[in-house]
Amino acid sequence: MWSEKHRPQSISDMVGNEESRATIIEWFVKWKKGTKPILIVGPPGIGKTTIAYLTTKQFRYDMIGLNASDIRSKSRINEILSPVLGNVSVLGTPMIFVDEVDGIHGRGDYGGAEALIQILKEPTVPIVLAANSDLSDKMKSIKKVVKTIYFKPIPPRLLRVYLQNILKKENAKLSPGSLIKVIDKSHGDIRSMINLTQSLVTGFNPQTDQSFENINVENGIDAFFKAKSLDEARSVLYSMQIDPKQKIDAFYSSIITSNLDTQTLAKLLNVLSEADILYGKIMKTQNWRLLRYLNEILLALYKNDDRIRYTQYNLSWSLLNRIRWDGRKIKALSLVIAKKLHMSSSAFVTICFPYILFCIKNKKLEFELEETFGDIIEKEIELLK
């Protein structure tokens, strides 16, 4: 992924938020025991995590990274941080980084926020927090004990300079119209801008002036199986910004209706079941951080295979046809016969219909039916064989 490949190697390689970056460095330079921790607030993809990692590297700290799920309960937070805060010299020079600290709120918090605030009040090691927003009540109480530094979206023209530099390094080109659209679409989010650019440059979506706000599921699935390399397939997958369940379903219906040999089909369905299990786990625990692994699981489906094309329906066409057309006729027929037999049409279809067909076939029973039902009765009798 270009977003990983071109991740800044030093703080000066970053773009935008110059003053905030300088403030963070100044905080690290002047840090001593008891210095207020810092909270970096800003929208996703503008370098909050990156600067935390880079400062750790440049100031030679050993980073202990936590996320919202680690700080949900008091016992968990103490379990992780007590050794760090108590035995600093044994553990090198630790620095605590709590990412997405605003993710802990409401019913998900079992005393974690309070425990964290206690630690933030008397820091013995540098503590850096990052959050997308500081507006919740929990964040307001955290903000009282930290120094807040805001990271703002990057101005689009500056983003273009950054993007052009990446394109230059990749020896790639993007039409001026596409360049502007990529930047507009990213809304200051560098990560999404680079991902979108990579997906365009790798060629599954032609660089025209047409809108490419979202790669629809049809183009996405087709481009995935047409991709010439794993990297290309990955970028296609990441560009399909649709509901994860919809993504799994789309792959399922496309694979199940394709003409594949049993071995390949079994292998692909196995991958899909892994993805489905992950999705189930996410829904059950509401731990959406796990979503980041979904694309990597789905990537195992990649195979340059012409046989697989996007299909919306997860049944074969012949079966779908029968359900749609024959099903309608059977329903109409069942309404007529069920009335004659004084029973519900659903009970008739479920229990009696095959026996009635046998009776009609063996000429033991006669119904006065419209001629239009003749075809379907004959067809169903044929199927009884």
Q: Which residues bind another protein (CB under 8 A)?
A: 9-13, 15-22, 25-26, 29, 54, 57-58, 151-158, 160-162, 164-165, 180, 183-184, 187-188
Q: Which is nearer to another protein, 53 or 293 (CB)?
A: 53
Select 35 or 73, whichever has its Cβ closest to another protein.
35
Residue 270 and residue 297: Cα distance in Å, rounded? 11
- Considering beta carbons, is residue 54 or 64 the nearer one to another protein? 54
N residues, the chain: 385
Give yes or no for a contact between 189 and 43, defined as CB atoms under 8 angstroms apart. yes
CB of 14 to another protein, least distance (A): 9
150 vs 288 by CB, closer to another protein: 150
Bridge partners of 38? Answer: 128, 147
Closest separation in Å from C-beta 167 to another protein: 11
Closer to another protein by CB, 76 or 187: give it.
187
Report in angstroms how near the CB of residue 25 gets to another protein at its nearest.
Answer: 5
How many whole angstroms separate alpha carbon 29 and alpha carbon 332?
Answer: 81
Instruction: Say if residue 153 is exposed, middle or buried (CB neighbours under 10 Å; 0-12, 13-18, 19+).
Output: middle
How distant, in Å, are the alpha carbons of 2, 3, 227, 237, 288 from that of 217? 23, 23, 15, 10, 21
Q: Look up tokens 């964290």; give the residue.
A: 116
The nearest distance, CB 145 to another protein, in angstroms, is 25
Q: Would you say 312 and 253 are in contact if contact means Cβ atoms under 8 Å apart? A: yes
Distance, in Å, from the CA atom of 346 to the CA atom of 335, rounded to the nearest integer, reads 9
Give me the least distance between CB of 196 and another protein, in Å please: 14
> What Rg value do the Cα atoms of the chain yield, rounded?
30
Owner of token pair 């680079």: 194
Q: How far is the CB of 303 from another protein (least distance, A)?
A: 38
**Of 169 and 379, CB closest to another protein:** 169
